[in-house]
Amino acid sequence: MKRNIAIIENHVISANTVRKKLINELMTKGYNVTILTTGSEKDLALAAENGFTVIDVKTSNTNIGDIYRYIRNIRSALKSGKIDICLTFTMRPAIWGNIITRIMGIPTITNITGIGPLAESSSLTYRIARTLYKFVLLKTAKVFFQNKDDRDVFLAHKFVKQEVTELIPGSGVDYDYYAPVEDSGKPHKKFVFLYIGRLIKDKGITEYVDAGRILKTKLPNVEVQALGPYYSQNLKENTITERDILKWVEDGIITYLGASYDVRSYIAKADCIVLPSYREGMSNVLLEAASMEKPTIACDTTGCRDIIDDGETGYLVKVRDVEDLVEKMQKMTSLSVEERKVMGKKAREKVKRSFGKNIVIAAYFKAIEEILKKKK
- Average confidence (pLDDT) per 10 residues, the chain, 376 residues: 93 94 97 96 95 93 86 96 96 94 97 82 78 91 96 94 96 96 71 95 96 95 94 67 93 95 95 96 97 98 96 98 98 97 98 96 97 83
Output the domain CATH number for residue 207: 3.40.50.2000
pLDDT tens, residue by residue, 324-337? 999 999 999 999 99
Domain count, the chain: 2
Phi, psi of 53 (to 5 degrees): -90, 115
Amino acid 130: pLDDT: 86
* 149 and 200 both lie in a single domain: no
* 113 and 256 both lie in a single domain: no
Q: Domain range spanning residue 63?
A: 4-172+356-375
Give this prediction's pTM. Answer: 0.92
Spacing of C-alpha 328 from chain mean position: 24
* 324 and 245 both lie in a single domain: yes
User: 57, 79 in Cβ contact below 8 A?
Assistant: no
* 205 and 339 both lie in a single domain: yes
Amino acid 187: pLDDT: 60
* 197 and 154 both lie in a single domain: no
* 342 and 361 both lie in a single domain: no
